[in-house]
């Protein structure tokens, strides 16, 4: 079986995840009518990811990444099925927490292992293809998720999602590729010494490659701001047409995903991307954040959808380049670097959801999104300025620094 097959299997898994995101968020909001519960559902997923991020990074550098991904897929499938007999909002929060915890192990191992599976020279093209298929899955998943929720109920949506995880685990089990094995410290003392050593190695890596640190700082601020539109989209859909909330919610994300798909065809050919990954990432993040500000400018659906499409274009560029920068790191530390990325992603979203919920108590939805993405725009612009200043003194070559004479 060809290794490229798994890219499509993973896309099917993403399809199921997008469906269940629509169904669970809509179900919680309809059952409770509370922004607090909707935010709590998302925060629980983030907390699970935060708690797992460090451990998942260490595991990815010491255990078989393939086995971690297989076990994670099976567990995620079983967790989703538990919601069907127990649809209580409180139990859903518990499942979302556990799913976030397990998903961190899968995503960190998958991100770190991509250069081993497909070859380090193919990373940018593979990431572009992953982003393209993920975006197609998003378009289809959000649309089908909204429709299935309306016509067949949440049970059907969750069953499809569980099947997608189990299929992913089965295909991973059958695939073979060359991978490195790592040594596990079994004694508790050795474990804690290794944790301290891991922390030192990661901080040392950031000192050696400060441009990677700049990317991670912006990524954290970006995930913080992104919580505002993730929380805001179902509320925006309700303000446009409360009777078709789930369908409009899915449609907005689907159009955003369509912009993602379009961008992935052209991304590897863009000259700035080929010459300077870091600058391309910072610029695309600025445009992405500006796009989300524009989406919430109005409740006129055609304008919202056009802005969502353009924002999806910028987002595909930013997310693909961030993954590519991680995968340029040395394989021996790549899992821990991916773990740091997972930690920033989960912690940034978690803080963002809390901030967004609190801001909605005193601000309109539009103002809340503008404020939080305004913070991203400010931080991104400052970082871009610092990057340009630093790059005038140094030349970047494949993620490393070379002093100019």
Is 42 a member of any domain?
A: yes
CB atoms within 10 A of CB 90: 9
Is 405 a member of any domain?
A: no
**H-state helical runs in 267-364:** 271-275, 277-295, 301-327, 331-360
Q: Which of 288, 294, 303 is nearest to 223 (CA)?
A: 288
> Is the distance from CB of 106 to CB of 72 less than 8 angstroms?
yes
Is 38 a member of any domain?
A: yes
Is 228 a member of any domain?
A: yes
The C-alpha atoms of residue 131 and residue 261 are separated, in whole angstroms, by 7
Instruction: Report the half-sphere exposure of 101 (CA within 13 A, side-chain side).
Output: 11
Is 194 a member of any domain?
A: yes
The C-alpha atoms of residue 119 and residue 107 are separated, in whole angstroms, by 18
User: Domain residues for 338?
Assistant: 5-398
Q: Which of 285, 287, 286, 308 is nearest to 297 (CA)?
A: 308
The C-alpha atoms of residue 162 and residue 78 are separated, in whole angstroms, by 7
Give the CATH number of the domain where residue 308 resides.
1.20.1250.20
Q: Provide the number of structural domains found in the chain.
A: 1
Is 71 a member of any domain?
A: yes
Is 403 a member of any domain?
A: no
Is 404 a member of any domain?
A: no
| Tens-level pLDDT at each residue, the chain (405 residues) | 688 889 999 999 989 888 888 788 878 877 887 777 877 887 788 888 888 877 888 888 888 889 999 999 999 999 999 998 988 889 999 999 999 999 989 998 998 888 888 887 788 888 888 888 887 887 788 778 877 887 888 888 899 999 999 999 999 999 888 765 554 444 444 545 555 666 677 788 888 888 888 888 999 999 999 989 988 888 898 888 887 776 787 788 778 888 888 888 888 888 888 788 889 999 999 999 999 999 999 888 999 999 999 999 999 899 889 888 888 877 778 888 888 787 787 788 878 888 988 898 889 989 999 999 999 999 999 999 998 888 877 644 444 433 333
């Amino acid at each position: 079986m060809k290794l490229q097959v798994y890219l499509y299997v993973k896309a099917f898994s993403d399809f199921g995840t997008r469906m269940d995101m629509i169904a669970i968020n809509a179900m919680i909001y309809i059952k409770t009518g509370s922004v607090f519960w909707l935010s709590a559902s998302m925060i629980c997923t983030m907390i699970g990811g935060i708690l797992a991020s460090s451990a998942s990074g260490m595991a990815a550098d010491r255990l078989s990444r393939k086995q971690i991904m297989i076990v994670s897929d099976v567990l995620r499938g079983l967790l989703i099925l538990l919601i069907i007999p127990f649809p209580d909002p409180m139990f859903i929060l518990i499942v979302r927490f556990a799913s976030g915890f397990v998903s961190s192990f899968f995503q960190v191992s998958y991100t770190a292992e991509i250069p081993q599976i497909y070859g380090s020279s193919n990373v940018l093209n593979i990431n572009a293809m992953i982003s393209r298929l993920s975006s197609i899955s998003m378009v289809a998943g959000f649309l089908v998720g909204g429709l299935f929720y309306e016509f067949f109920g949440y049970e059907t949506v969750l069953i499809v999602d569980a099947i997608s995880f189990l299929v992913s685990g089965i295909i991973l089990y059958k695939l073979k590729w060359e991978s490195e094995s790592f040594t596990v410290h079994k004694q508790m003392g050795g474990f804690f010494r290794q944790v301290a050593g891991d922390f030192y190695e990661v901080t040392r890596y950031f000192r050696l490659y400060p441009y990677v640190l700049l990317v991670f700082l912006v990524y954290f601020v970006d995930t913080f701001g992104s919580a505002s539109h993730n929380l805001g989209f179902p509320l925006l859909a309700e303000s446009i047409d409360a009777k078709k909330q789930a369908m409009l919610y899915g449609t907005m994300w689907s159009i955003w995903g369509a912009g993602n798909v379009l961008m992935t065809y052209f991304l590897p050919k863009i000259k700035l991307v080929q010459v300077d990954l870091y600058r391309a990432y910072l610029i695309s993040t600025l445009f992405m954040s500006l796009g989300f500000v524009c989406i919430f400018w109005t409740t006129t659906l055609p304008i919202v959808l056009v802005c969502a499409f353009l924002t999806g274009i910028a987002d595909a560029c930013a997310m693909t380049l961030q993954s590519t920068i991680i995968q340029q790191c040395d394989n021996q530390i790549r899992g821990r670097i991916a773990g740091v990325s997972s930690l920033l992603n989960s912690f940034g979203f978690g803080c963002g959801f809390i901030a967004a919920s609190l801001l909605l108590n005193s601000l309109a939805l539009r103002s809340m999104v503008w404020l939080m993405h305004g913070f991203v725009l400010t931080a991104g612009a400052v970082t871009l300025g610092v990057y340009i200043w630093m790059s005038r003194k140094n030349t970047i070559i494949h993620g490393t620094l070379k002093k100019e004479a």
